[in-house]
Amino acid sequence: MFKPVSEIKPGFQYIDREEIRITGAKKIILTGDIGCTGFNEDSKEILDQILRQKPDLFFFIGDLAFTGAEEEFREIIDFCNSRVEVPIFALCGNHDLPGYDKFLGSSTYAIVLDRFVCVFLCNATGYCLDEEITFLRKALTKYQTQDFIIFMHVPPPTDIDRNHLHQAEWEKVRKELDQYKEKIRHIFCAHIHGYHDYYIDGYHVTITAGGGAAMINDLKIPEQKIHHAVVLNLDDSGAMSTEIITVRGSASSAGNAAVLP
């Protein structure tokens, strides 16, 4: 049974099942790598600006914490829950591994929306375990009449930085995706701090890792080194669009991106 998004409690969701069905979610804000260089005053100011937006859902694509300690999770959860009026769904990042499951539950699950299925796939270690691949296969098979949006923390291979999946790990995921290629609308990842949009093997990938952590990756293009979030707009007709919103005070405005107030 689908649950209206307005009836889901605000703030972080603890995931204890493989599938969540939500109706009425049209605007989702995505960001990643919030606290993995320390949840300091700069990080809090950046995240606070992102949380002032008014989506139907927030998706955080990993690395909420620095060391994954309990006190770090409590701090980020309290910070966000006191500021939002909508649900937050998260994905585990490599920095989150020690404490993620205690505070947020499973990191491999599906959110079934009206026209799309959002598949969250945990690869925080840089590898996809057999159970993650099995889950992906099951979700793709079950919802063949819907389109898919895939979320992973570590991105597929890219030439902007070395911190991506090894080719063999990407091939494991791609083997499953290729059977439903025309249904895979987008892949969203984080991990490499900044913003990057690219294609690999015919798949559209966006890296959105500008949620508050310092821009420590050596990205060559200044417009990529920005604190930002991505707005994902979903239409009843099945149309999908994205918009980059940068945090005021970032070094770059990413071309024509909107700037958060």
Q: What is the mean pLDDT of residues 47-76?
A: 97
Q: Is residue 1 part of a domain?
A: no
Q: What is the mean pLDDT of residues 112-130?
A: 96
Q: Is residue 207 part of a domain?
A: yes
Q: Residue 251: is its pLDDT beyond 90?
A: no
Q: What percent of the chain has pLDDT over 90?
A: 90
Q: Residue 258: is its pLDDT beyond 80?
A: no
Q: Is residue 252 part of a domain?
A: yes
Q: Residue 197: is its pLDDT beyond 50?
A: yes
pTM score of the predicted model: 0.94
Asked if residue 109 lies in contact with residue 145, where contact means CB atoms within 8 angstroms, the answer is no
Q: Is residue 6 part of a domain?
A: no
Q: Is residue 5 part of a domain?
A: no
Q: Residue 212: is its pLDDT beyond 80?
A: yes
- What total number of domains does the chain contain? 1
Q: What is the mean pLDDT of residues 132-147?
A: 95
Angle between helices 70-81 and 41-51 (to 10 degrees): 40
pLDDT score for 256? 40
Domain holding 101, by residue range, is 15-259
pLDDT score for 16? 97
Q: Is residue 3 part of a domain?
A: no
Buried/exposed code over 109-118 (b: 16+ C-beta within 10 A; e: otherwise):
bbbbbbbbbb
Instruction: Find the largest Cα–Cα distance for the chain.
Output: 47
Q: Residue 261: is its pLDDT beyond 80?
A: no
Q: What is the mean pLDDT of residues 53-73?
A: 97
Q: Is residue 193 part of a domain?
A: yes
- For the CA atoms of 181, 127, 31, 69, what is the dihedral angle to 10 degrees? 160
The enclosing H or E element of 172 equals helix 167-177
Q: Is residue 167 part of a domain?
A: yes
Instruction: Report the distance separating Cα 210 and Cα 255, nearest Å.
Output: 16
Q: Residue 74: is its pLDDT beyond 60?
A: yes
Asked if residue 139 lies in contact with residue 120, where contact means CB atoms within 8 angstroms, the answer is no
Least confident range from 7-11, 18-22, 78-82, 160-164: namely: 160-164
Q: What is the mean pLDDT of residues 52-60?
A: 97
> What would the pLDDT profile of 149-189 be if each residue is shown by its tens digit?
999 999 999 999 899 999 999 999 999 999 999 999 999 99
Q: Residue 216 sits in a domain of what CATH number?
A: 3.60.21.10
